[in-house]
Structure 1
Amino acid sequence: MNTVAYQIARCDSHLSTSSQPLHFVQRLDYATSGVLCMAKSRPAAASAGKAFEKRLTRKYYLAIVRGHVGFELADVDYGVGADPETLHSNHKMLARTSSSQTIQVRSAQTRMLLLETGWYQRSPVSVLLLKPITGRRHQLRVHCNAIGHTILGDYTYSDRSDCSPHRMFLHASRLVLPVDKEVIDVQTKTPYFSDEGFLQHWKSDRVAYPYKTKGDFNDVCDVIDKSYVLGVNYKMYNCTN
């Protein structure tokens, strides 16, 4: 069985009847890799869950998107809701990018920071640090697609056209979770730059911020955490522009 619970715990740990159950506090899309929060007890799950609900957590993702983005720092404020054309199929989500759209959405905000530009299979791509402020279904994938920079390898939101990469390039790199009297800060290496399947097609162009060491990554997290960064090319995406 190819599940997270099966790989790291007992084969029945995903069941409530297990003697050692795991409690999923959050989930990642099937094609997304990286940090995932699970608890070994109900009280621990409840404590962590409250931090997520109150937006006290900080989550940072590394994404490679199609095209060279036209900003250094951006805020995306597009509500996200179910795509009415897929309600009876694969349940895609949709961003409301115009006030004239009538779809039902929930508010969704994502902050983006450009880290590097380059080329993948001779096509322009950008490496972005993504910080979701809210936690809607498929939010990061939908927001990237809505601004015209679909995540590399995202088969679903490229209308099934981006099928040459061997994976979707979205990785949950860091989670900062305050619980009780401590702060859990978990960071994992990004798998892209140790992946020969990626490197043989990748060529760097310009590094805006170094980010591949733990210290450098923490520094860019500090940059994206700031309410506003002076002297950068900033872009706001919302329904009014």
Structure 2
Amino acid sequence: MIDYNPPTHTDLNILYLDDSLIVVDKPTGLLSVPGRGEDKHDCMITRVQAEFPDALIVHRLDMGTSGIMVMARGKTMERSLSILFQNRQVHKRYAAVVTGKVSPTRGEINLPLMTDWPNRPRQIVSFEWGKPSQTRYQVLAYDAVADTTRVDLEPLTGRTHQLRVHLQALGHPILGDELYADPIICAQAARLLLHAAAICFPHPQSGEILTINSPIPF
């Protein structure tokens, strides 16, 4: 079991705020929602609710993943935003640094995923039982000295650990990944090098297209 040592709570990094929704920048090492046990109560939603009691979760980021999280303000907005996610009207982009040289330099990964039940929360590729999962990727840069590749990722579906498992399945696990990279690759970074860098969706009330970005911290 991975130890939980959440980062010190400082001021919320709010990227967008109105009466309908809140977009925050989640730090790495912080759970999106409370985990089991009192020691895992500190998380992104409880920190936001301390200032905005009407905030509700509509999607999550893995504990190690940093970046953009959208929260609804109230039940009506929660339903509206959830529908946008279900209908794939929310477009997300992530940045990652992986081991090795990724080739070809762009493509789409189509590998069905399911929970590895004896080893939860790990996910695995299963062509028999897995749910359809698609990720587009594009290489941004290759570091020949470190033998690592920086990639832009666009998940077309929203499965648990999708980006991490898809990249591992390509033979290019993300640096700092305690679940899907071997100890040597995991130790190449002090954190999981995965960041939710951009999101674009129509505002549930006005229909205005919101495009929100978060600076990549690695």
> What is the TM-score when the length of structure 1 is the normalising length?
0.68
2:61 paired with 1:39:
no
> Aligned equivalents of 1:72 and 1:182: distance in 2?
33
The Cα RMSD (Å) is: 1.8
Q: Deviations over 1:141-190 (max 9, x none)?
A: 01000011001111100145433220000000001121242222111100
Residues 45 and 56 of structure 2 are in contact (CA less than 8 Å); yes or no, is this contact kept in structure 1? Answer: no
In 1: Cα distance, 2:176 partner to 2:79 partner: 34
Contact preservation (8 Å) 1:39, 1:45: yes
5 Å-filtered alignment, 1:154-233, equals 154-164=177-187, 165-178=189-202, 179-180=204-205, 181-192=207-218
Cα distance in structure 2, aligned partners of 1:161 and 1:91: 21
SS at match of 1:70: coil
The match for 1:8 among 23, 40, 48 is: 48
CA deviations on 1:185-208 (whole Å, 9 max, x unpaired) are 11110001xxxxxxxxxxxxxxxx
Which segment is superposed worse, 155-164 or 71-80? 155-164
- Are 1:112 and 2:170 an aligned pair? no
What corresponds to 1:30 in structure 2? 63
Runs of 4+ in 1 over 4 A off after TM superposition: none
Query: What does 1:85-124 correspond to in 2, within 5 Å?
Result: 87-96=117-126, 102=128, 104-119=129-144, 122-124=145-147
Structure 1 unaligned residues grouped into runs of 5+: 14-19, 193-241
**1:81-115 residue CA offsets vs partner (Å, 9 max, x unmatched):** 122xxx2343310124xxxx54x100000000111
Determine the C-alpha separation between the residues in 2 that align with 1:82 and 1:74. Answer: 25
Larger Rg: 1
| Higher RCO (C-alpha under 8 Å, 6+ residues apart) | 1
Secondary structure at 2:198's aligned position in 1? strand
Aligned to 1:56: 89
